[in-house]
């Protein structure tokens, strides 16, 4: 008697414990997305980080409202809060009910108000920068993966070139002249042009990793049965991309976005610190930090407040990214020697 291979229920049994667990969970009939979210909710730190980040986002969105509610106008000068030498009168940068986080030396502008408005700039750069570079990366990655051939080569080579540049150096070096160039092209002068510049150059340097990741995924996905099957049914490229490929790429994209965000958020501050950031009267964390350095002996609170706000936000994003990665990339659930 000689039996052939099994047909239906018996599949390759994976040794990996986590894989078995995955199989078990798969049996619950949840999509990878739902599964990931379920796992994410179980990671306490990730959830806390999410709330922290959400808090910042809400603060940014409702900045004008919050500022009015708390009566902390970021642009109003308060001569009474500073002494004749321009330094905050009270301790800790003149913290008081009127100015919960103290005032800016020199002008007496409210630090809390400026902090709240500064959240906007940092988050705009962080989110828009990430969304742009991710979108471009995903699109180019899909195109490269689907088209292959010379299109793929071209995109990959352009990526090589982009990665060969020292990005931070170029961002700094081109900041002023490129901003002027944008202004000469009709982009509104000042911070709009600067923002446009920063977002553009972040995209130029930021898309490559995402594109490579997506291209790899697409190449391996297209070998998989369901894509082949869809093809054999005559599915169009659109259907393929939006119904078949993208849903499978979501976890990767989410993780990538979460990991890129913190770096971009901190960038605004770094640029302003190096003197190529935004311009007054915009309230920005970077401007505050750059300014605070001049006062860090007499008004240490002024350095720590925007620095702390920045650190907490970046930390929040990083923990969120960790949480998402652990949730969507179960390989991180591993064994121990």
Partner 1 sequence: MFYFIARRSFFAVILLFVVSIFTFWIFSALPADPAALTCGKNCRPEVIEANRIRLGYDKPFIEQYGSYMKGIFVGRTYGEDESGVHCAAPSLGYSYDRHECVSSLVAKTLPVTASIAFGAFVLWMVFGIALGTLAALRRGKWPDHFATVFSVIGISFPSFFLGLLSVLFFVIWTKILPFPNYVGITENPFEWFTALILPWSVLALLSASTYIRLTRNGILEVMNEEFVRLGIAKGLPRKKLIVKYVLRAALTPIATIAGIDLAFLLGGAIVTESVFNLPGLGKLTIAAVVNSDLPILVATTLISALFIVVANAFVDIMYGFLDPRVRTK
Partner 2 sequence: MNTPLLSVRDLHVNFGTSEGDVQAVRGVSFDIDRGETLAIVGESGSGKSVTASAIMRLNFGADIRVSGSALFEGKDILSMGEEEVRKMRGSDVAMIFQDPLTALNPFYTVGNQISEAYTIHHPGTSKKELRALALDAIEKVGIPEPVKRIKQYPHEFSGGMRQRIVIAMALINQPKLLIADEPTTALDVTVQAQILELIGVMQEENGTAVILITHDLGVVAEVTERVLVMYAGRLVEKASVIDAFASPTHPYTRGLLNSVKSLDSDRHSRLEPIPGIPPSLIDLPTGCPFHSRCRYAASLNGRCSTEVPELKAVGNSWSACHLPVDLLAAPIKESL
Partner 3 sequence: MKHNRIIAAIATAGIFLSACGGSGMNAQSGEESGGRSASLDGAQDGGTLHVLTFQEGASTLDPQRVYTGAELGAWGSTFTRTLTSYQPVAGEDGTNLVADMATDLGTASDDLKTWTFTLRDGLTWEDGSEVTCADIAYGVSRTFAAEVTAGEGPLYALSYLNIPEGDSDFGSAYPGPWLADEEQQALFDAAVQCDGQNITFNLQVPVADFNYTVGLLAFAPVPKDKDTADQYGLAPFSNGPFRVESYEEGVELVLVRNENWNADSDPVRKPLLDEIIWQFGVDEAVIDERMLADAGEDKNTIVYGGILPENLQTVFGDDSLKDRRTDGFDGFVSYTMFNVETVNCLEVRQAVWLALDREALRTAAGGPFTGEFATSFVAPLLAADYEPAKLVDGLNEDGTANVEAAIAMMEKAKEACPDLHARTTGEGLRFDHPDSATWQKNIAIWIDSLGAAGIKIIDNPIEPSKYYSSINGDRGDLMRAGWAADWANASTVIPELFSKDGGFNYHNNEGDPAFAAFQTKVDEAKAETDRSKQSKLWKELNQYVMDQVWSIPGSATKSQNLVGSNVRGAYQWKPFGWYNLGAIGLAG
Residues at the site binding partner 2, with contacts judged by CB under 8 A: 1-15, 17-18, 20-21, 23-25, 27-28, 39, 42-43, 333-337
Min CB(318)–partner 2 separation in Å: 20
Interacting partner of 9 out of partner 2, partner 3, partner 1, none (Cβ under 5 to 8 A depending on kind): partner 2
Min CB(121)–partner 3 separation in Å: 14
Asked if 181 touches partner 3 (CB under 8 A), the answer is no
- Phi, psi angle pair for 128, to nearest 5°: -65, -40
Reference 170, options 267, 291, 238, 288; nearest CA is: 267
Q: Which two tokens stand for residue 285?
A: 């964390």
Asked if 104 touches partner 3 (CB under 8 A), the answer is yes
Reference 106, options 234, 332, 287; nearest CA is: 287
The CA distance from 299 to 30, in Å, is: 54
Asked if 291 touches partner 3 (CB under 8 A), the answer is yes
| Binding residues vs partner 1 (CB under 8 A) | 15-16, 160-161, 163-166, 168-170, 172-178, 180-181, 184, 262, 266, 269-270, 273-276, 289, 293, 296-297, 300, 303, 307, 310-311, 314-315, 317-319, 322, 331-332, 334-337
| Count of positions (residues) in the chain | 337
Q: What does DSSP assign to residue 281? A: T
CA distance to 8, 9, 30, per residue, from 14 (Å): 16, 14, 20
Min CB(45)–partner 2 separation in Å: 13
Min CB(95)–partner 1 separation in Å: 20
DSSP 191-229: HHHHHHHHHHHHHHHHHHHHHHHHHHHHHHHTTSHHHHH
Asked if 85 touches partner 3 (CB under 8 A), the answer is yes
The CA distance from 75 to 128, in Å, is: 25
Min CB(98)–partner 3 separation in Å: 17
Site for partner 3, rule CB under 8 A: 75-77, 79, 82-87, 104-107, 109, 176, 189-190, 274-276, 279-281, 287, 290-291, 293-299
């Amino acid at each position: 008697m000689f039996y052939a291979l099994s047909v239906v229920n018996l599949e390759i049994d994976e040794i990996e414990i986590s894989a078995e667990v995955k199989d078990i969970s798969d049996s619950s009939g949840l999509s990878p997305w739902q599964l990931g979210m379920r796992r994410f909710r179980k990671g306490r730190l990730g959830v806390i980080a999410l709330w922290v980040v959400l808090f910042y986002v809400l603060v940014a969105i409702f900045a004008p409202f919050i500022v009015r509610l708390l009566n902390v106008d970021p642009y109003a000068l308060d001569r009474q809060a500073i002494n004749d030498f321009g330094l905050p009168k009270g301790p800790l940068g003149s913290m008081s009910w009127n100015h919960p986080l103290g005032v800016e030396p020199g002008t007496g502008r409210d630090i809390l108000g400026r902090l709240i408005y500064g959240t906007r700039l940092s988050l705009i750069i962080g989110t828009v920068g990430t969304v742009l570079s991710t979108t471009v990366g995903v699109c180019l990655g899909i195109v490269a993966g689907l088209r292959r051939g010379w299109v793929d080569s071209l995109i990959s080579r352009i990526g090589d070139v982009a990665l060969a540049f020292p990005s931070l150096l170029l961002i700094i070096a081109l900041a002023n002249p490129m901003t002027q160039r944008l202004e000469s092209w009709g982009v509104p002068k000042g911070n709009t042009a600067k923002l446009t510049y920063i977002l553009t150059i972040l995209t130029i340097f930021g898309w490559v990793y995402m594109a490579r990741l997506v291209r790899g995924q697409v190449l391996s996905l297209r070998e998989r049965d369901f894509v082949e099957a869809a093809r054999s049914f005559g599915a169009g490229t659109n259907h393929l991309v939006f119904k078949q490929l993208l849903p499978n790429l979501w976890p990767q994209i989410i993780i990538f976005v979460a990991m890129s965000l913190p770096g971009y958020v901190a960038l605004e501050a770094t640029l302003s610190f190096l003197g190529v950031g935004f311009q007054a009267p915009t309230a920005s964390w970077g401007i505050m930090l750059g300014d605070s350095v001049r006062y860090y002996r007499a008004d240490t609170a002024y350095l720590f407040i925007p620095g702390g706000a920045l650190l907490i936000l970046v930390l929040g994003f990083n923990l969120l990214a960790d949480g998402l990665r652990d949730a969507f990339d179960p390989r991180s659930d591993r064994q121990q020697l």
